[in-house]
Structure 1
Amino acid sequence: MSRAELADFLRRRREALRPAQMPSTALHPPGPRARRTPGLRREEVAALAGVSTSYYERLEQARAPRPSPQVLSALGTALRLTDSEREHLARLAGQIPPSTDTDPAPVPADARRLLHQVGPVPAYLVNDIEDIVAWNSAAATLITDFAHLPVHERNTVRLAVRLAGTLCSPATGTDDTFARQTAAHLRAAAVRHPANRALGELVDAYAAHSPHFAASWLSHDVRPRPTLRKRLRHPALGELRLDRHTLLVPGTSLRLVLYTADPGSPSAAALAELDPPGTAP
């Protein structure tokens, strides 16, 4: 159990709620003391969860013992957590043990086959810490020839830093959504793999590069964003407006990332003209 991380997560989720979102019966009666926080008060969350205010305060102060599954469920309801946030809360509280896997899992043959069955759609597979573990030729042409990169550089975070302002970089103003999506994935991964040093290095590197990522990381936002719109500058195709879709591969911790464009758009026509550099793994 990570008391400090649990405390920070609860506090930030409490502050993210607005009194206007809650029924008036759940709120502290108005009085001379003005609200000093943007979200709910601790006593209001405690009342909604059916726990004592002193106990909830100790949770946010990282001084309480491990909460029971029943208390976690009540807190999830009180704080209006999504399914992904409830799972994250359970992991922070030690109800779900961290992963002990140290070796990367092999890419299933059917997942690898899927990459090459999506036709001209650029696609690749990433693991928990955003390593690109397999890709198709269209993705290599659109982004970079992954086969010629050192293995440790085949990572979406490292590429976001490395390609910034150069080939196929995000256009100005589009880094924020990708950064928030990446922060959510890595926050969840950090709880599943607390001993993974490479993950900590990625977080430090991207936080120094992107203020959007740094802010999202601090907010403990672990909600998935399965689709986001990106504008990419390609050295041959110019600026492309693409949708980046992220799908979980069933039975694995891998995610399939695909890039598509609006049918009939110039970006769709440009994708259709991609000239693959060769056979991808």
Structure 2
Amino acid sequence: MATTEFGRAMRRWRDRVPPDAAGLAAGGHRRAAGLRREELALLAGISVDYVTRLEQGRAAHPSAQIVEALARALRLSGEERSHLFRLAGLAPPGPDTVPAYITPSVQRLLDRLTGTPVAVYDASWTLLVANPPYTALMGDPSGWRGNERNGVWRHFVGPGSRVRHTSESRRALEAAEVADLRAAAARYPADQRLRRLVAELCASSERFAELWDSGAVGRHEAARKTIDHPRVGALTLDCDVLTVTGSDLRIMVYTAEPGTEDAERLALVTVLGTQSLVG
């Protein structure tokens, strides 16, 4: 049964990933050197119960999004990732679809930036992974599903983000987001998910539809952004977006100038994490 073999493969690959290779502390008594189920669930953004059911063959037909998240959490190679898709009864993503594979070199980069807010998006601005400092700064995305994980959808239709905008910066961001989606749609014409996203945005947002039809152009550039954090107040940080040539990933990085009040507040955000303040 394919589902059973899917679970066996998950367990086999989970056992070979040491916690420190995934940026996790390896403290406490461990029966095996690899990841625990709860650690895999945390890294993949799914429930421990679902990981257990997948491994035991009691959950069938995981979605492509779930398989992709598991492949990232398990640090699978490109061939292993394709094999996991096939075990799930899914066609591996082809060259005409938006890449969502985080290469080992990019993963190593993320593992080393443990004190810096970093998130990785695909070419359609769907969030693939966010490290703990980014989650602490911008909010926890672990419960987001479907379009909720797409930054363009959240800006035009959803709740937005903690970034404070002027009218000018909002217009520039909107033009850049629409231009990015148009370019992605041209590069990946067979990507049905991207086509559905554009259609839903056009149907749900008059502003997006207007920009899409007008052929608006723009591009993301390095900028200073003010984030209204619910616990430490406003932080003004440098935001850089790096594009990974060949894989079309966008790496968003927030930093503060050393020795400033913003740097102190960012350090506090990182320490606080997503835990609730008490007292």
Calculate the TM-score normalised by the size of structure 2. Answer: 0.54
Instruction: Write the mapping of 1:88-99 to structure 2, written as runs, cut at 5 A.
Output: none
Cα distance, 1:188 vs structure 2: 0.7
In the alignment, which residue of structure 1 is the partner of 2:79? none
In structure 2, relative to structure 1, the CA distance for the partners of 1:210 and 1:124 (3 Å cut) is: farther
Identity of aligned residues (%): 31
Task: Name the count of aligned residue pairs.
Answer: 177
Task: Name the CA distance, whole Å, in 1 between partners of 2:227 and 2:215.
Answer: 27
In structure 2, relative to structure 1, the CA distance for the partners of 1:159 and 1:116 (3 Å cut) is: farther
Task: Name the CA distance, whole Å, in 2 between partners of 1:210 and 1:262.
Answer: 38
**Bigger Rg over Cα:** 1
Task: Name the CA distance, whole Å, in 1 between partners of 2:98 and 2:165.
Answer: 35
Provide Cα deviations, 1:207-253, integer angstroms capped at 9, x if missing partner.
Answer: 65474x55554453555333133222221122222332111113311
In the alignment, which residue of structure 2 is the partner of 1:150? 145
**RMSD value, Cα:** 2.9
Q: Is the 1:177–1:228 contact (alpha carbons within 8 Å) kept by the matching residues of 2?
A: no
In structure 2, relative to structure 1, the CA distance for the partners of 1:115 and 1:219 (3 Å cut) is: farther
In the alignment, which residue of structure 1 is the partner of 2:256? 261
Q: Which amino acid aligns with 1:258?
A: V
Q: Does 1:249 align with 2:249?
A: no
Task: Name the CA distance, whole Å, in 2 between partners of 1:201 and 1:243.
Answer: 33
Q: Which amino acid aligns with 1:276?
A: G
> Relative contact order, CA 8 A, sep 6+: which one is greater?
1
In the alignment, which residue of structure 2 is the partner of 1:35? none
Q: Does 1:163 align with 2:146?
A: no
Cα distance, 1:184 vs structure 2: 2.1
Question: Which 5+ residue runs of structure 2 have no aligned equivalent?
Answer: 1-93
Q: Which amino acid aligns with 1:170?
A: R
In the alignment, which residue of structure 2 is the partner of 1:276? 273
Q: Which amino acid aligns with 2:159?
A: L
Instruction: Write the mapping of 1:44-193 to structure 2, written as runs, cut at 5 A.
Output: 100-102=95-97, 104-160=99-155, 161-164=157-160, 168-173=162-167, 174-193=169-188
Question: Which 5+ residue runs of structure 1 have no aligned equivalent?
Answer: 1-98
In structure 2, relative to structure 1, the CA distance for the partners of 1:172 and 1:209 (3 Å cut) is: farther
In structure 2, relative to structure 1, the CA distance for the partners of 1:203 and 1:230 (3 Å cut) is: farther
Cα distance, 1:258 vs structure 2: 0.9
Q: Which amino acid aligns with 1:196?
A: D
Task: Name the CA distance, whole Å, in 1 between partners of 2:205 and 2:235.
Answer: 23
Calculate the TM-score normalised by the size of structure 1. Answer: 0.53
Q: Is the 2:222–2:238 contact (alpha carbons within 8 Å) kept by the matching residues of 1?
A: yes
Provide Cα deviations, 1:166-202, integer angstroms capped at 9, x if missing partner.
Answer: x625345342232222122112111112343433444
In the alignment, which residue of structure 2 is the partner of 1:40? none
Task: Name the CA distance, whole Å, in 2 between partners of 1:256 and 1:233.
Answer: 21
